[in-house]
Amino acid sequence: MKIHEYQAKELLRLNKVPVPLGFVAHSLAEVREIAAKVVSFPVVVKAQIHAGGRGKGGGVKLAHSVEEVAARAEKILGMNLVTPQTGPAGKKVKKLLIEQGVSIKHEYYLSLVHDRASAGIVIMASVAGGMDIEKVAAETPEKIIKVNVNPLLGIQSYHCRNAAFLLGLPVEAIRQFNQIINSLYQLFTEKDCSQIEINPLVLTDSDQLYALDAKINFDESALFRHKEILELHDPEEDDPLEAEAARFNLNYIKLDGNVGNMVNGAGLAMATMDIIKMAGAEPANFLDVGGGANAEMVENGFRIILKDTNVKAILVNIFGGILRCDVLAQGIVQAAKNSHIDVPVVVRMEGTNVEQGRKILADSGLELITAVDLQDAAQKIGSIVGGLK
C-alpha cells in the first residue's frame, strides 16, 4: 500500500528523521492560511499523488511570496498531473503539501528495500540523487551503492559508516546520517514496509541533512497488525477497476496491454500472461478468479475486464479443479447475456466436467473461439491481436 508524501514525512518526523516544516492543504483557502504562517520564503508547493516524477511533470514549484504560493497552488490543485510514472492518463491532484523551502547544497538518493537475492534488506544510496535517478540507474549503475543488512543481526554502525564513506559525506553530516539510517531501518522493520525511498536526501548550506521527498510502501499482507497505517490509505488514489474488483473479492491488477484474461489460480495467471506475451500481445490485466469461484464471480470478472476500454480480446484459461468447467461455462454464458461482450473471446478449459462445460458453450449460441490447448489459445489470441494492427 502506498501513502502520500505528507503522510510519509509525518512518519519520518515521528521517527526523528529531519523533514522540512510543512502542512497539507485540500483547498486554496487552506493554502492561504498555511502560507500566512510561513516564517520565510521560498516555500515549496507540492502535488500529492501516489506517483513519482512530479517535479518533471510540473507538480513541484518554488514560491517567494504569499501571492506566489497562492498562484502556484491554484495551478497545481485540480490539475491532471502527468509524470513518467502516472502513464499518459495522469492523476488528478486533490491535495497539496505546502512546505518550508530548503537551500540545497547537494541531493543524495537513499532507499531501503527488500533484496530477494540476499533475503535481507538492502540500503541503496547514491551521490547522484534527485530527479534523474532512473537515468543514473540505467546508464551509470556504479554510482548507486548497496549495503546489505542481515535481518537477524539488524543494522550495525559499520553499515552506516560504509554508506557514508561511499557517498563521500562531509564529516559534519555523518552523525546525522547514521541517525537517519538507523531510524529508517527501525521504521522499515517495525511497520513492515516494502520500500522507503528518500529522493532527494539533501545536504543544506549549513551541512544539515533533510528528507526532502519520501515514498513509503507497506506490505499489504501485514497491514492487519498496523491499524494506524491502514488509516492512511487514500481510496481516491486507487485504480477504480481494482477497487471494484476488490469489492467482488477478485484478485485483479490492471496492466497496460489489450488482451484481457481471466484465469483461476495466481500461478496459472502468471503463466497465461507469459503466454500472451510470447504470442506477441500484451496482457491488459492480471485476474485470478480463485479456485472456488462461482458463475457470478466469473460474470463480475468479465464485467471488470470489459470496463477497460483498451481490451480488444479476452483469453479465458481455466483449469477445472474446485471451479468446475461447467460452472465456468455457465458464468461465461450468464456474463454474455447480462453484459454486452463485443470483443472476441478465446476459451481454453481443461479438467473437471470439461465435456459438460464445452457443451454448455457450444449450445449457448455465443460466438466463442475454443482452443484445444494453451498453445492453440496463444496462437488464436496472437492472430486476433495481430490482425488489429
Q: List the grid coordinates of 35.
A: 502560507
User: Applying CB under 6 A, does 101 fall inside the site for ligand GDP?
Assistant: yes
Alpha carbon 187 to its chain centroid, in Å, reads 20
Residue 331's binding partner out of Mn ion, ligand GDP, none, with CB under 5 to 8 Å set by partner kind: none
Q: Does 197 participate in catalysis according to the annotation?
A: yes
- Residues 217 and 1: beta-carbon distance below 8 Å: yes
> Exactly one of 197, 210, 237, 299 is catalytic; which is it?
197
E strand map for 127-192: 144-149
User: Applying CB under 6 A, does 104 fall inside the site for ligand GDP?
Assistant: yes
- Smallest distance from the beta carbon of 61 to Mn ion, in angstroms? 14
Site string for ligand GDP, 164-203 (x = CB under 6 A): -----------------------------------xx---
- Compute how many other C-beta atoms are within 10 angstroms of the C-beta atom of residue 114: 15
Q: Does 109 participate in catalysis according to the annotation?
A: yes
In this complex, which beta carbon is closest to ligand GDP, that of residue 6 or of residue 218?
6
- Smallest distance from the beta carbon of 152 to Mn ion, in angstroms? 32
User: Applying CB under 6 A, does 54 fall inside the site for ligand GDP?
Assistant: yes
- Compute how many other C-beta atoms are within 10 angstroms of the C-beta atom of residue 375: 13
Helix, strand and coil percent figures for the chain, each rounded to 5: 40, 25, 35
Which DSSP string corresponds to 45-81?
EEE--S-S-HHHHT-EEEESSHHHHHHHHHHHTT-EE
Residues 334-353 close enough to bind ligand GDP by CB under 6 A: none
- Residues 105 and 203: beta-carbon distance below 8 Å: yes
- Compute how many other C-beta atoms are within 10 angstroms of the C-beta atom of residue 235: 7
Site string for ligand GDP, 129-148 (x = CB under 6 A): -xx-----------------
- Name, in order, each residue with C-beta under 8 angstroms of 381's C-beta and a sequence gap of 6 or more: 259, 276, 279, 281, 313, 315, 346
User: Applying CB under 6 A, does 128 fall inside the site for ligand GDP?
Assistant: no
| Residues contributing to the site for Mn ion (CB under 5 A) | 199, 213
Alpha carbon 371 to its chain centroid, in Å, reads 34
Output b/e per residue, 123-145; b: 16+ Cβ within 10 A.
bbbbbbbbbebeebeeeeeeebb
Q: Is 126 helix (H, G, I), strand (E, B) or coil?
A: strand
- Smallest distance from the beta carbon of 19 to ligand GDP, in angstroms? 11
Alpha-carbon span 123 to 96, nearest angstrom: 29
- Smallest distance from the beta carbon of 140 to Mn ion, in angstroms? 19
User: Applying CB under 6 A, does 44 fall inside the site for ligand GDP?
Assistant: yes
Residue 1's binding partner out of ligand GDP, Mn ion, none, with CB under 5 to 8 Å set by partner kind: none
In this complex, which beta carbon is closest to Mn ion, that of residue 125 or of residue 298?
125
> Exactly one of 108, 109, 185, 210 is catalytic; which is it?
109
Alpha carbon 191 to its chain centroid, in Å, reads 18
- Smallest distance from the beta carbon of 53 to ligand GDP, in angstroms? 5
Residue with smallest beta-carbon separation from Mn ion: 213
Residue with smallest beta-carbon separation from ligand GDP: 55
User: Applying CB under 6 A, does 213 fall inside the site for ligand GDP?
Assistant: yes
- Smallest distance from the beta carbon of 126 to ligand GDP, in angstroms? 13
Residue 344's binding partner out of ligand GDP, Mn ion, none, with CB under 5 to 8 Å set by partner kind: none
- Smallest distance from the beta carbon of 213 to Mn ion, in angstroms? 3
Q: Is 163 helix (H, G, I), strand (E, B) or coil?
A: helix
Among 12, 19, 212, 245, binds ligand GDP (CB under 6 A): 212
Active-site residues: which are they? 109, 197
List residues binding ligand GDP (CB under 6 A).
44, 46, 52-55, 60, 62, 101-102, 104, 107, 130-131, 199-200, 212-213
